[in-house]
Structure 1
Amino acid sequence: MLVQDEVMGLRDPEQASTRTAPTGLEAGATLNDAVRDLITTYHDLNTTKPDILREEPSPLEFMRYVARNRPFVIKNGATGWKARQKWNASYLKEVMQGQTVNVSLTPHGNADSVISLPSSGSIFVKPYERSEDFSSVLDAIVAQTHSPSPSPKEGPRQPIRYAQTQNDNLRDEYTSLFADVPASIPFARVALGQGPDAVNFWLGSAASVTALHKDNYENIYVQILGRKHFVLLPPVDAPCVNERSVLAGTYAPRRRDHAAEGAEDAETEKLVIQIDEPATYVPFATWDPDVPSVNATPYSKYAQPMRVALDEGDMLYLPALWYHKVSQSCNDEGLCCAVNYWYDLDFGGGFWSTAGFVRTVGLLSAQDGEH
């Protein structure tokens, strides 16, 4: 607005010209400095420990955590569930008797992860999947826990099995077990105004590790048997994880014919990586917070991972877009079993677009550093 108001104390017109707004950064600061400041300020203001609750939150209390995008653990939150009271090896085999399930097989327990090739380069590798009798899968998982790793002379061990189909499997192939858990988590259903998009069943051994990744879901994770170990990074740490586009492949069995040796059928020799056709590149985090010096970005050193251990009966709220790496410890039977509820992220408002902006700026500034 142009006005004719009298101005007192103005020494010259140049004095009234606008200036660049202060950033809080030092003079001459760059985009890299702004990204660093974003990460360090977040960690200065937020603890690396989750809130520990002794009872379920109300829907309003839960919504406050969703709004802040911060995790919490409910100690013994699922103690009263039938699953906690009933599930063990014999019960699971009895209820699932005669049923086949989809199982993931990998040579190292490394489904959906980035592997480095000896010659250089990396591949994002997915597991080999096939249908097997549930009882056989459970027995194989127990054997993975109690059998020592073979020596080089003994050759490769049997593939690592993990029941981990993240496709609402507890309401599908594991529907016989669904009655033992709530159909939804009441405080989440009321607060979010929706039921779960998926309810998943997980059964594996300590040999399986889930690589660092993120999901577009509000996640309620419930430990039934054994123990889970989470390494968590908030969305603001996206510039730390060194996301790259990685060539995709899938484990597949290489078979050899033993007819000359008297074998009646082809026998699986080992799992090998088959590059996907057509060639596909998958964006994936390549930095591991447990091996921080490898594949680090200039920002990785500013990350402050949150480490969470879930005991039997504990519940974890894992907010949408948090990066998480997951390992596990088995119970005395050799099993680790969990259930999780995925509630779809609300893509309205500013959170989704802001998180995407942070990721993009981090990628661009890292590219500038490479050049």
Structure 2
Amino acid sequence: MEDSIANLIDTYHELNAAVVEELDEEPSPLGFMRYVARNQPFVVRRAAKHWTAVRKWNADYLSRTMEDEAVKVVVTPRGNADAVVEQGDGSQAFVEPHETFEPFKRFLEDVRSSSQMFGKAGSNVKYAQTQNDNLRNEYETLYAGVPKDIPFARIALGAGADAINLWLGDDRSVTSLHKDNYENIYVQIRGQKHFVLLPPVEMPCINEQLLPKGRYVPCETTGDLEVQLDDEAEPVPVALWDPDMPDKLTTPYSYLAKPLRVTLREGDMLYLPSLWYHKVSQSVGDEGFVCAVNYWYDMDFSGHFWASNNFVRDVVNSEKMKPAYPELETDGQT
């Protein structure tokens, strides 16, 4: 079985170039649909250079426009929201961030002042990343600064965006390796985003494990953030392998992975296909913060793609359940 899975990954790489293709201009709806059908990413440099957001969203504009509107902010000790955290006993858990509401102006000031404090203790990391269509709701005041849709995606997919999200933080936040069930159009507004991408076929490489779920909560005595496990929550599947630390927490297939890397600068647009694993870090620009907008379009679950990927996942996970020494098992007895 290991040979079959390895052959699957090798065959994919033989047939697909290990690069993120760069386009000179936005694709037509038909051209975009060809990328969707192949489940292949692309980037269009400066595609959004004329957007109001790219031209105007500096710190002063955002502060004046949003003023003291309350926004939801996630807070973590090290910029590790929705990430694997090692506990004091050496065990691991999937930990979500602490959530709070703050006036936008104060939140942005904290982000800008903290962006030069990378690695310094005692400064929690704040990030706007609610992922719930926040640009059409929580940040509606800013919504006019971006298109209401991405025309080539709307026409090709036959539907509008399920969600349009704003992301705003500093250079200490890192999004750990994960995947989404969406066709994702991602546009950089301020600063830079650094993506590490793995295609769905490399699921056997990522060392997916079921981990208990927790959340950062303020300590009642010190106020410091600490992990509180949710004993009633179902374990969640999480990737443990990190393509930036390829020799740690590996599987028998991790060495076959060929991570793709792309950096988005202000005005760049990335198409991130559904089910692609991605890890994201960021760098602040002259304004002292990082800001991006993304459009999520629901993936098509019909056809073979979703079922085929689930089959590979099931095969890999069933291999984990096999006994280490099957020759010692006879008729259910050991």
Q: Which moved more, 1:305-314 or 1:268-277?
A: 268-277
Q: Which moved more, 1:126-135 or 1:140-149?
A: 140-149
The residue type equivalent to 2:139 in the other structure is: Y
> Taking structure 1 as reference, are residues 359 and 148 closer, same or farther at Cα in structure 2, changes over 3 Å only?
closer
> What corresponds to 1:276 in structure 2?
230
Matched, 1:350 2:315: no
Larger radius of gyration, structure 1 or 2?
1
Matched, 1:226 2:191: yes
Structure 2: gaps (5+ residues): 326-334
Between the aligned partners of 1:149 and 1:355, the Cα distance in structure 2 is: 38
The residue type equivalent to 2:131 in the other structure is: Q
TM superposition shift of 1:280:
2.9
> What corresponds to 1:320 in structure 2?
274
> What corresponds to 2:164 in structure 1?
199
> What corresponds to 1:4 in structure 2?
none
Between the aligned partners of 1:244 and 1:370, the Cα distance in structure 2 is: 17
Q: 2:254 aligns with which of 300, 317, 338?
A: 300
Contact between 1:149 and 1:157, CA under 8 Å: does it hold in 2?
no
Structure 1 residues 1-371: aligned runs within 5 Å: 31-147=1-117, 149-150=119-120, 156-256=121-221, 269-368=223-322
Aligned residues: 325
SS of residue in 1 equivalent to 2:224 = strand
Between the aligned partners of 1:98 and 1:138, the Cα distance in structure 2 is: 11
> Taking structure 1 as reference, are residues 333 and 123 closer, same or farther at Cα in structure 2, changes over 3 Å only?
same
TM superposition shift of 1:84:
0.5
Q: Deviations over 1:321-353 (max 9, x none)?
A: 000000000002211000000000111111111
Between the aligned partners of 2:164 and 2:233, the Cα distance in structure 1 is: 32
TM superposition shift of 1:98:
1.9
> Taking structure 1 as reference, are residues 327 and 370 closer, same or farther at Cα in structure 2, changes over 3 Å only?
farther
The residue type equivalent to 1:298 in the other structure is: P
> What corresponds to 2:332 in structure 1?
none
Q: Deviations over 1:229-282 (max 9, x none)?
A: 0000000001111111101100000132xxxxxxxxxxx631000111414311
Between the aligned partners of 2:137 and 2:261, the Cα distance in structure 1 is: 32
Between the aligned partners of 2:225 and 2:33, the Cα distance in structure 1 is: 45
Contact between 2:184 and 2:297, CA under 8 Å: does it hold in 1?
yes
**Could you tell me the TM-score, scaled by structure 2's length?**
0.95
TM superposition shift of 1:147:
3.0
